[in-house]
Amino acid sequence: MVQQIAFTLISLAALGWAGWQFWQIRNKIFLGQAESISGHTSQRWRNVLLVAFGQQKMFKRWIPAVFHFFIYAAFVITQIELIEIFIDGFTGRHRVFADKLGFFYTFIISFIEILSLLAFVATVIFLIRRNVLRLPRFTKPEMKGWPTRDANLILIFEIILLIGIFSMNGADTLLQSLDPTHYPDTGNLAVSSWLGPALFGHLGQDTLVILERFGWWLHILMVFVFLNYLPKSKHLHIILAFPNTWYASLRPRGEMENMPAIMNEVKSMMGLEVEASSHGEELPEFGANDIFQLSWKNLLDAYTCTECGRCTAVCPANLTGKKLSPRKIMMDIRDRTEEISLNIASGQDAFAKDKSAPVSKTNYDDGKSLFDYISPEELHACTTCNACVEACPVLISPLDPILKMRRYEILTLSQGPQEWLPLFNSMENSGSAWAIAEDRDKWIHD
């Protein structure tokens, strides 16, 4: 009874705290502007099934993809056993499904154990890749400090989780013959039927009982720790990858978002008919200089980023030694969103644009912007080749916020690289990239 009460209280506290954190993530994402999502539902479901569930884009690099799939599959399938753990914890019973499912139960738990063993191997390999082999995409400047610790920490959590599973199942296998009344027969499990006797065969019954409970509690507590750690980690993509692939743009890659105000200005400059509603209107502020001008989908991209570095690894600007790293762009957007969210939550007047009103999404100014995180040098290096968009395993578009920030710099601030400005001035003043004063269609008449 004591264990039931403890389990119930811990579960409610852990799930409640996790739920609150995920709700805060939602609020942070919606600090961005509204964005209409259109396109065929069938294509969106296809993206979710193939890209999020099927890991389709991961297999462009098949060796790490196979190991990642081991961890991913173990994570998904283990949730079946987790259902039983919750039922046992709330009811005070032990392996409630074992007697009811019989051989099918043996098959399910054995399948989970095989995947868990493969996940253990994959986890060790990933730790070696990051800390011994030190692959270049894991050692870029933006990965120093917390990003590297975060990646290692989640792998260590995975190992602890697996220790809990095999301690629980291994000790339970031995207890089934010592106390069949309290420990239902699970059949010969694929791993624990030999690992349990090998590790714990020399131990007494009381020690085995303690070891089984230790494994059971370690497993569920690590699940709760993992769940509450996700909102602070890059591994939030485990959850956000599914909505992010659903809401991913279905437009052809390379198709830029149209700006009606600019289109009308160009039409006016070229003597074409302009929509009546656009005459006399004050030009809006173009592009984005902070997260408030980005869309909520851009912020969802930032929080979904796995920091895997595939985008940076294929970026031609980065490969030629330029400062641009598409991964860093997404990490900077997320960091800026976190900073603003904390400042708004503090309620301090120092962050309010209008000191007479409470600080909020529409009343915020801390004297900083995304340009304090992302330098013009990074933005100018982008060739808009879409290599980063193509490489991302969860359909993130680092190119979209880059273009929005460049538009703000050029169209709103009238700034940009010196070698670009003569081109823009020529097009504005003469309608020609080469500052030729003659009409653009003169060649037709000639």
- Residue 2: pLDDT band (50, 70, 90) is confident
Residues facing residue 363 across a β-bridge? 360
Positive/negative CA dihedral, 137, 143, 145, 150: negative
Residues facing residue 33 across a β-bridge? 295
Q: Which pLDDT score, from 0 to 100, does residue 434 have?
A: 76
Q: Which pLDDT score, from 0 to 100, does residue 276 have?
A: 58
Q: Give, as one character, the DSSP assignment of residue 431.
A: S
Question: What's the CA gap between 74 and 238, in Å, rounded?
Answer: 13
Tell me what percent of the residues of the chain surpass a pLDDT of 90. 75
257 vs 197, residue with greater confidence: 197
Does the pLDDT value for residue 71 go beyond 80?
yes
Q: Which pLDDT score, from 0 to 100, does residue 27 have?
A: 96
- Residue 15: pLDDT band (50, 70, 90) is very high
Helical pair 103-131 and 146-178, crossing angle rounded to 10 deg: 150
Q: Which pLDDT score, from 0 to 100, does residue 282 have?
A: 60
Answer for the pair 18, 24: CB distance below 8 angstroms, yes or no.
no
Q: Give, as one character, the DSSP assignment of residue 412.
A: I
Q: Which pLDDT score, from 0 to 100, does residue 44 have?
A: 95
Please give the average per-residue pLDDT across 157-181, as a whole number.
Answer: 94
Q: Which pLDDT score, from 0 to 100, does residue 218 have?
A: 96
- Residue 286: pLDDT band (50, 70, 90) is confident
- Residue 162: pLDDT band (50, 70, 90) is very high
- Residue 440: pLDDT band (50, 70, 90) is low
Question: What's the CA gap between 324 and 314, in Å, rounded?
Answer: 12
**HSE value, Cβ hemisphere, 13 Å, CA-based, for 356:** 0
Mean pLDDT of the chain: 91
Q: Which pLDDT score, from 0 to 100, does residue 277 have?
A: 54
Place of tokens 């209280």: 9
Q: Which has the minimum average pLDDT: 76-80, 197-201, 322-326?
A: 76-80
Closest CA to 292 of 326, 339, 245, 346: 339
Q: Which pLDDT score, from 0 to 100, does residue 432 have?
A: 75
Question: What's the CA gap between 427 and 40, in Å, rounded?
Answer: 38
Q: Which pLDDT score, from 0 to 100, does residue 439 have?
A: 67
Please give the average per-residue pLDDT across 39-48, as a whole number.
Answer: 93
pLDDT tens digit sequence for 196-219: 999 999 999 999 999 999 999 999
Q: Give, as one character, the DSSP assignment of residue 51.
A: I
Phi, psi (degrees; rounded to nearest 5) at 295: -85, 165
- Residue 260: pLDDT band (50, 70, 90) is confident
pLDDT tens digit sequence for 341-394: 999 999 999 999 998 999 999 999 999 999 999 999 999 999 999 999 999 999
Q: Which has the minimum average pLDDT: 86-90, 266-270, 281-285?
A: 281-285
Burial 108-137 (b: 16+ CB within 10 A, else e): bbbbbbbbbbbbbebbebbbeebeeeeeeb
Q: Which pLDDT score, from 0 to 100, does residue 244 have?
A: 96
Question: What's the CA gap between 441 and 421, in Å, rounded?
Answer: 24
pLDDT tens digit sequence for 80-130: 889 999 999 999 899 999 988 889 999 999 999 999 999 999 999 999 999
Does the pLDDT value for residue 279 go beyond 60?
no
Tell me what percent of the residues of the chain surpass a pLDDT of 70. 96
Please give the average per-residue pLDDT across 1-27, as a whole number.
Answer: 94
pTM of the predicted model as reported, rounded to 2 decimal places: 0.90
Residue 405 corresponds to which amino acid?
Answer: M
